[in-house]
Structure 1
């Protein structure tokens, strides 16, 4: 497989606090990579560093061999990395359709994802297109956030805590969209606290703890005990 996104030795700080310690990660074309870990493990910081929101103090982020490390967040978006943020962060003053169309402003040229295709994937967004974005249920808002990111036709879609606070039936519906997203030519990194969900959708899994990757591998090759130990920082004498 061809490496699409390559993260090498990534270190990030919030002021004097170091949040990431030399993280290495590769996302290949057509893959889904899952990042798991407890609260405070550094998962969201890693997503923010990739997108240029968190300050990178060492290491690099490259997309298709182009170094994006020092670019501002808007330029990283136009290069082809879009994020579905934790908490959705929709614009409350805009309708569902307007929230979706905001994502198209970062589009460079034509691509697979259009308003019609996003609404076909999540039909409720067509039904509720004139409703305020924040008037929807949590799951429907998550669909808007995913659709908004896809409207930029990204090569890489970063999804931060998609299932947080949602009912299992809604989570299943959201993750059922992944095959179509990947078929459109978009590769995915998903941050999840739900280990079972992460293992079901991912080609590769990375576990983080205290700003470091503590375990990596294909889901079929990782034992429950190994995942548990990496997740909770268990060491054996």
Structure 2
């Protein structure tokens, strides 16, 4: 049984349909990357899994339990945490206060605490009393990841965490992923950067126009197949 699964997942914004029958699985201890261009439906998929877009119950399952209709706070309480696109830090709170917000809903013991987040991202300890939004973009992304980890999630959803960041910053952020996986979290990473996705993922899903167009292990997917699935095959 998959840890997390979507079955024939659809999603709408009013009358506009954004997802069309998306099937995805995440196994225990696995990292899955979801790639695709802008507008492919990647963020809508993450919002649907995390409960920000409510679904039919059976369209999203955690450990076989139907969670698609649950609100976001209940899904987080069950162990699914999201690092949202754009970071979404609280501007009135310090770095440390932003981190502490991550544990308010999920009351479990686990490997992640303020101390372990500070060991993962030492710069945050130095800046812990500064406003979260006063940090650089990369440091804000570290706060956003740390806030999600503070809930000790079983599933960590990372939506476009490299967007707008310099390559050296992206490298530093992704260098933390082995440690995150060592603590038992399974990860879904949404990325536009195909190369970065291939480096970290056990399996890859490519989306285009709200549909999965290709899936497989990185070493099984040819560059041509990925290009066609990402942009559409030439007519």
TM-score over 0.5 for the alignment?
yes
Preserved CA contact (<8 Å) 2:207 2:213:
yes
Aligned to 1:38: 37
CA-CA distance at 1:57 after TM superposition: 5.3
Once the two structures are superposed, residues 115-135 of structure 1 have per-residue CA deviations (whole angstroms, 9 ceiling, x without a partner) of: 000011000000000000000
Once the two structures are superposed, residues 83-132 of structure 1 have per-residue CA deviations (whole angstroms, 9 ceiling, x without a partner) of: 00000000000000000000010222211100000011000000000000
Once the two structures are superposed, residues 29-88 of structure 1 have per-residue CA deviations (whole angstroms, 9 ceiling, x without a partner) of: 111000000000000000000011123258511111111011111100000000000000
CA-CA distance at 1:3 after TM superposition: 1.5
Cα distance, 1:59–1:110 mapped onto 2, change above 3 Å: closer
2:166 counterpart of 1:167: yes
Aligned to 2:183: 184
Q: Distance in 1 between matches of 2:92 and 2:122?
A: 22
Q: Which moved more, 1:66-75 or 1:48-57?
A: 48-57
2:146 counterpart of 1:147: yes
Gaps of 5+ in 2: none
Q: Distance in 1 between matches of 2:69 and 2:234?
A: 37
Aligned to 2:77: 78
Partner-residue secondary structure (3-state), 1:33? strand
Partner-residue secondary structure (3-state), 2:68? coil
| Alignment length (residue pairs) | 235
CA-CA distance at 1:18 after TM superposition: 0.5
Q: Aligned ranges for residues 200-219 of structure 1 at < 5 Å?
A: 200-219=199-218
Aligned to 2:14: 15
Preserved CA contact (<8 Å) 2:228 2:234:
yes
Q: Aligned ranges for residues 114-133 of structure 1 at < 5 Å?
A: 114-133=113-132
Aligned to 1:231: 230
Task: Name the Cα RMSD after superposition.
Answer: 1.1
Preserved CA contact (<8 Å) 1:12 1:58:
no
Once the two structures are superposed, residues 135-179 of structure 1 have per-residue CA deviations (whole angstroms, 9 ceiling, x without a partner) of: 000000000000000000110000000110101111011001111
2:153 counterpart of 1:158: no
Q: Distance in 2 between matches of 1:59 and 1:76?
A: 14
Gaps of 5+ in 1: none
State TM-score, norm by structure 1.
0.97
Q: Distance in 2 between matches of 1:41 and 1:58?
A: 23
State TM-score, norm by structure 2.
0.98
Preserved CA contact (<8 Å) 2:30 2:187:
yes
Q: Distance in 2 between matches of 1:166 and 1:96?
A: 19
Partner-residue secondary structure (3-state), 1:104? coil
Aligned to 1:102: 101
